[in-house]
Structure 1
Amino acid sequence: MTATQNGPQVSGSNSVSGNGNNEAKKIRKFEAMIIILVGIIGGGFAGVVRRAMDHASYYEAISTGVVAAIALCGFIFGVVRYIRGQS
């Protein structure tokens, strides 16, 4: 009454596909859209705060928001890729 197993794979985890890429480590389109949306909202918030607190011009507030949105998206993508690379 012994059962054989194919390997030490944990149940529920994604297996390695034929070309060697692990599908669990990829950022999916849905996750990417959520990250970009969070970046845009964060950038808009940064622009509004810069305009309200610093009494900056609209150009300065918009440029701050764009830079903040790009930086926030890049930071979140980097964190997600790092966390997925650890597993």
Structure 2
Amino acid sequence: MSATHNNPQVSGAGSGSGGGNGDDGSKIRKFEAVIIILLGMIAGILAGIGSRTMDNASLFEAISTGVVVGIGLPTFLIMIIRYIRNQS
């Protein structure tokens, strides 16, 4: 009976839950990517609204500011996460 309890633990010891430090450590997980993209969309919308109201910018300038922030912020966050994960 103790052999059946020890056998699954030995054979599956690091296969399921983030055991490897190789390629799995540097990848961005799906839920992280979704959160980062949603954060970028919210920041882009807020940057566009802020540009429109504070700077009295035209609609085209406000939209372009929102797009730049909406693409730049997630890219920056993904680069930071990858850098931190590659250090450990």
TM-score (norm: length of structure 2): 0.74
More helix per residue: 2
Write the letter of the residue equivalent to 1:35: I
SS in 1 for 2:72: helix
Write the letter of the residue equivalent to 1:66: V
Larger radius of gyration: 2
Percent identical among aligned pairs is 54
CA RMSD of aligned residues (A): 1.7
Q: What 5-or-longer segments of structure 1 have no aligned partner?
A: 1-12
Question: Number of aligned pairs?
Answer: 72
Aligned partners of 2:25 and 2:86 also within 8 Å? no
Q: What 5-or-longer segments of structure 2 have no aligned partner?
A: 1-16
TM-score (norm: length of structure 1): 0.74
Deviation (angstroms), 1:47: 0.5
Deviation (angstroms), 1:86: 0.8
The list of structure 1 runs, each at least 4 consecutive aligned residues, that deviate by more than 4 angstroms after superposition, is: none
Deviation (angstroms), 1:59: 1.2
Q: Distance in 1 between matches of 2:68 and 2:26?
A: 27
Q: Distance in 1 between matches of 2:69 and 2:18?
A: 34
